[in-house]
A and B are shown apart, each in its own frame.
Chain A
Amino acid sequence: MATRPKIDSGIEAFNNDLDKPWQFEEDGYTVTRGCAWSAPGCHPVGCGIKFYVNEDGILEKVEGDENQPITQGRLCVRCLTLPDMTYHPDRVIYPMKRAFEDRGKNKWERITWDEAYEIIETNIKDIKEKYGPESIVVFGGTGREGGPMCGPYGQAMLGTPNSCYTQSGYACYIPRVAAATFVTGATYPEMDYAGGLPGRYDDPMYKIPEVMMTWGKEPLPSNGDGFFGHSVIDCMKRGSKLISVDPRTNWLATRAVYHLPLRPGTDAALGMAMLNIIISEGLYDEEFVSLYCYGFEQLAERVATMPPERAAEICGIDVEDIYGATRMYANAQNAAILWGLAIDQKANGAQAGHCILALEALTGNLDVPGGQLLGDVTDSLADLGFGWSSLGPELQNKIIGLKEYPAYVAIVLNSHADLTLEAMETGEPYEIHAGFIASTNLLAGTCAAQPKRWHDAMQKLDFVFAADCWITPTIQCCADVILPLATFAERESGVAVHYGASPNMTGSVVNAVQVGETKGDLEIQYEIGRRIMPDNYAKFPTLYDFMEEFRFGNNIDYNELKEEVTRQRKVTYKKYELGLLRPDRKRGFNTPTGRVELYSTMFAQFGEDPLPYYEEPQRSPISTPELMEEYPFVLTTGSRVYAYFHSEGKQIPLLRELNPDPWIEINPKDAEKLGIIDGEWVNVENEFGRCELKAKITPVVRQGLANAQHGFWFPEEDAEEPHLYGVWRCNINNLMPHKFVGKLGFGAPFKCIICKIEKLNK
């Protein structure tokens, strides 16, 4: 067994809790160790956390658990303030109902779980009978345990095919997953940061990446897709050099050897140019390419159409920096690309993703230590697709968007977001009558584009129920029943880092305290499912039986995991040499050709170009020069902050203090031209809508670029319609167009639209 890895804060030298059991007594507290998975806080990073519960059963404080191999005791502000959220007076801790005619009013009445379940069962069964099961939509969110449960909530628990993550073009993660699946046959290949190795960075199997290239990703505050963002800092301290591809000069970019501040939305042009350089200068791994890649010649021919000089012009960056960064990346012994949300948030994103995967493959960085870690063919959350087969072919074929966007619908078993809105509005292909708001605040500038349209459509539904920790604007608008959702200190479950998509770690989620009558997503799904779709749950006599299959694929015993708290997963590199990437256990990759498909037969099969190409964003100085006089700014949105997980956390004073108001970053020269001073409220507007934000004047953005914060609402303001906690005033998604998606239905321009900015009171 390897020795314990070094912890950067040097905690070994202090009185610490290393090697303590999962539960122990200290100074009158019962201390329970577990791992975090929102609600509240984050994606499945599984940060280690110790809950200090006093004699009265109150969670008095939390402390980071130094035993967690990845986070090693470190915690962000969202976890540190957990006790403040747990006992916040506004928190929903009992089931509640509201009369249909009181929708939009703050008239909630406490009920029992039984009554809540009765109401849900009666209404859902009634609507299914009258209009068919497909008339129900589950509205899902991101990151929380309830996020990936969106599919099963619909397919298994309610019996509808229409589970819907409501962001236009599913512009979050899934476009990257789709590109990765089509090109490599594996899911999103995360940077390898030794999360599964007992010795972590010092493990003999591991090698620190010589180069890390962040591409449209700010991992430090976002922990995107469950990646512990500060692993980047761990690696930099150990010698990794950085390349930053980002329109903004964020803090990491100031520590980069190369910073390529490309114009938003031009990523595919840059990617093609980098491939061009690597191929024309012979910087690729010839052995890997000849043994494991398909379509090299066709790719070479295609990227020859994108000389670096042309890309430099398109992207608005220095051509020498493109050459320099590409050579630095390609010449490194091992290198990792951290490619983020920005790839998903453009119609041309699948092609940008294709380029990035090709870069990783050509340079031989797939599944090597300190490169991109691939998931075993058996990896990923056990729950994905749970219940789908029980629907039967007739209902399966009714999923909204199957005809128009089969690639989208098939890869994530979700109804297409934009078409789901249209169905709710028009009754085509059929009417939608009920909804379940499952851990999403979609109206609050989080995911839905044109949120007012979603609001109006959701208000018309005959019956809506919701599960959350708060009465959000989305719930206040249209829910009839709220189920109180447990935090990760109040429920039993497990968290697999990266949704289990790469071999890192699985941690326990524990119920250290009981708060009111809250329940977790697993319990809610199990209990409602047994009422409405009993056949799907008949084989699980208890909640534990359900959890162990649904959450752990029957590979982990929850009680064992609870005692271990964290369990690292076995890491094997170069799985393509060992037959571990394919169900038939043959060497190679799990694609139709058995190779990394630089020329993608899957893209071709879905009617998409099998090779990467560049396309301008639908609104840009190049594609719509006639609009630029009125809307001179290129607008990017959704960059993350430490204080909040999207719309969550606005009620917590110590979080709100860090970020009291939503801002828009404007370059000092642009601000001067417009007579805007720092901290002034401004009008931000385009042809699709408007909102008000506070000017943050900073050279982080170049001239002509603006970056707006998302996900703001004001829990302290009037709760009721039409104000709805001020949800429309600062809602940047008012400016996001409906159905500006890519050819396969993926991607939407949340990070590449245009707008004007002006003083609010001209």
Chain B
Amino acid sequence: MAYGLLIDYEFCTGCQSCEVACKEEHGIPVGQWGIRLLDDGPWKCSDGKYNWNKIPVPTRLCDLCEDRTSKGKQPFCVHHCLAGVMQYGTVEELAKELELKPNQVLFVPQPYHYG
């Protein structure tokens, strides 16, 4: 069964609690990340309104907090997200959520390495 993170970027405020929670939980030092906030904006559209989306993106270090999730707990980033815009679950259940609300993105991270 595949698991993922569903992130609602309409309401992600860019608080970076996910980044820091992850670093604290996994002992990831300065300069490295298990999840990282990407920031697109603000830039003005032709209608005069601004586009500004903040999207946390899991990195190749993200194991979806295997230690925690194997005990039935939420990943540490999901637990602390100030805007409550992160959900953890099976791809199947998250895909359903994805259908219910636009402006979300589903990540299915898994640590990878070549060679």
Binds B, one of A71-79, A543-551, A574-582: A71-79
A396: Cβ under 8 A from any B Cβ = no
Number of chain A residues close to chain B: CB under 8 A: 45
A555: Cβ under 8 A from any B Cβ = no
Bound together, the chains give a CA A643 to CA B19 distance in angstroms of: 12
- Determine the residue in chain B with the shortest Cβ distance to A237: B11
Residue from B20, B43, B79 in contact with A77 in the complex, judged by beta carbons closer than 8 Å? B20
B105 to chain A, nearest CB (A): 17
Bound together, the chains give a CA A77 to CA B20 distance in angstroms of: 6
Bound together, the chains give a CA A61 to CA B67 distance in angstroms of: 15
Residue from B51, B74, B81 in contact with A14 in the complex, judged by beta carbons closer than 8 Å? B74
B contact set with A: CB distance below 8 Å: 10-11, 13-17, 19-21, 23-25, 29-31, 41-44, 49-52, 54, 71-74, 76, 78-87
Known A75-B21, A77-B16; 20 more pairs at CB < 8 Å: A9-B84, A11-B79, A72-B84, A74-B81, A74-B82, A75-B80, A77-B15, A80-B24, A230-B82, A237-B11, A237-B84, A249-B50, A254-B41, A254-B50, A255-B10, A643-B16, A657-B30, A657-B31, A658-B16, A699-B42
B91 to chain A, nearest CB (A): 16
Contacts of B24 in A (CB 8 A): 61, 80-81, 83-84, 654
Bound together, the chains give a CA A80 to CA B21 distance in angstroms of: 6
Bound together, the chains give a CA A76 to CA B83 distance in angstroms of: 10
Contact B20 A80 (CB under 8 A): yes
B4 to chain A, nearest CB (A): 14
Contact B79 A64 (CB under 8 A): yes
Bound together, the chains give a CA A73 to CA B31 distance in angstroms of: 27
Contact A251 B74 (CB under 8 A): no
B103 to chain A, nearest CB (A): 11
Contacts of B17 in A (CB 8 A): 74-77, 80, 642
Contact A63 B79 (CB under 8 A): yes
Bound together, the chains give a CA A254 to CA B51 distance in angstroms of: 7
Residue from B20, B21, B31, B42 in contact with A249 in the complex, judged by beta carbons closer than 8 Å? B42
- Determine the residue in chain B with the shortest Cβ distance to A74: B82
Bound together, the chains give a CA A358 to CA B71 distance in angstroms of: 54
Contact B80 A698 (CB under 8 A): no
A236: Cβ under 8 A from any B Cβ = yes
Bound together, the chains give a CA A210 to CA B37 distance in angstroms of: 31
A340 to chain B, nearest CB (A): 16
Which 3 A-B residue pairs are closest in the complex by CB-CB distance?
A8-B84, A15-B72, A77-B20
Contacts of B52 in A (CB 8 A): 251, 254
With contacts A15-B71, A61-B24, A254-B52 taken as known, whether A233 is within 8 angstroms of B84 at the C-beta atoms is yes
Contacts of A554 in B (CB 8 A): none
Contacts of A252 in B (CB 8 A): 13
Contact A10 B13 (CB under 8 A): no
B8 to chain A, nearest CB (A): 8
